[in-house]
Amino acid sequence: LQLEESGPGLVKPSETLSLTCSVSGGSFTSRTDYWGWVRQPPGKGLEWIGTVSYAGHTFYNPSLKSRVTISLDTPKSQFFLKVTSVIAADTALYYCARHDSVYLLDVWGQGTTVTVSS
Amino acid sequence: QSVLTQPPSVSGAPGQRVTISCTGSNSNIGAGFDVHWYQQLPGTAPKFLISTKGTRPSGVPDRFSASKSATSASLAITGLQTADEADYYCQSYDSSLTASIFGGGTKLTVL
């Protein structure tokens, strides 16, 4: 199973960050799989952003919930992240990952850098 | 300030044993939620290493072990190798925050 993030590397403040995670080499419809986003600001630690289940149920980090939407396109084996009203603090390396029901993230993408700057 | 507290750094000589602690509270580790450990080599994505419930991907040597007690968890690495130099993160779930949470990370230096 492989995951690959894609999307713009530069976003202006107050605009919307949009990323895609493409899944290949395995099932995207297993009922035991969840698809999540994690970010890592430069030189800092990991932060869970949110998750979508195979059925489209979403779970968000409360600290980001008001600005985040995660969705999926099952036929295309893709899931998506949108973060609205971005600020400089949203500058980070964004990872997509698969996890199970206890948030064990066992397959990660290589990450994509997003910089928020005018 | 992370909900799970890890030491910023640990170090050890080749062949030695080191432990990395992860301190939480009654709403996460103390509530019985599993703790997962990840290794992040420089410039790469994190990689799942081991869980306190014993889950370990094939290829991860048994030099790595995980344990949990009350509101804390630990990752132990024996027979330290230079290849073990990395950042290590613990992760759990917090029922008060209703969120998956990470520790701040620990940088392991092999002297």
The span from the CA of A30 to the CA of A9, in Å, is 31
Across the interface, whether the CB atoms of A45 and B89 are under 8 A apart is answered yes
Confidence bin at A31 (pLDDT 50/70/90): confident
How far does CA B88 lie from the centroid of its chain? Answer: 5
The closest alpha carbon to B109, from B16, B6, B47, belongs to B16
Q: Confirm if A50 and A61 have CB atoms less than 8 A apart.
A: yes
CB contact under 8 A, A105 and B55: no
In angstroms, rounded to a whole number, what is the distance separating the alpha carbons of residues B7 and A86? 31
**Would you place residue A91 in the very low, low, confident or very high pLDDT band (cuts 50, 70, 90)?**
very high
How far is the alpha carbon of B17 from chain A, nearest alpha carbon, in Å? 24
Sign of CA pseudo-dihedral B79, B21, A51, A70 = negative
Q: Which of B33, B46, B99 lies closest to A46 in CB terms?
A: B46
Span A38-75, pLDDT tens digits: 999 999 999 999 999 999 999 999 999 999 999 999 99
Chain A residues with CB-CB distance to B73 below 8 A: none
Residue whose structure tokens are 């979403």? A58
Give phi and psi for A68, each to the nearest 5.
Answer: -110, 140
Q: Which residues sit opposite B71 in a β-bridge?
A: none
C-beta separation of A96 from A112 below 8 A: no
- A50–B contact, CB cutoff 8 A: no
CA distance B104 to chain A (A): 5
Q: Please write down the HEC assignment for all residues of A45-63.
A: CCEEEEEEECCCCEEECCC
pLDDT tens-digit series, residues B34-85: 999 999 999 999 999 999 988 999 999 999 999 999 999 999 999 999 999 9
Whether A108 sits inside 8 A of B46 (CB atoms) is yes
Kindly list the distances between the CA atom of residue B64 and the CA atoms of A94, B79, B84, B103, in Å, as whole numbers in the listed order: 27, 9, 10, 18
Residue A89: its H or E element: none
Contact A95/B at CB under 8 A: yes
Most B CBs within 10 Å, among A4, A40, A44, A46, to test the B interface: A46
- Best residue of B33, B100, B102 to probe chain A, by most A CBs closer than 10 Å: B100
Is a pLDDT exceeding 80 seen at residue A6?
Answer: yes
Least confident of A23-32, B20-29, B37-46, B72-81: A23-32
Q: In Å, how far from its chain's centre is CA B73? A: 8
Which residues of chain B have a CB within 8 Å of the CB of A46?
Answer: 38, 46, 89, 91, 102, 105
- Alpha-carbon distance of A63 to A61, in angstroms, equals 5
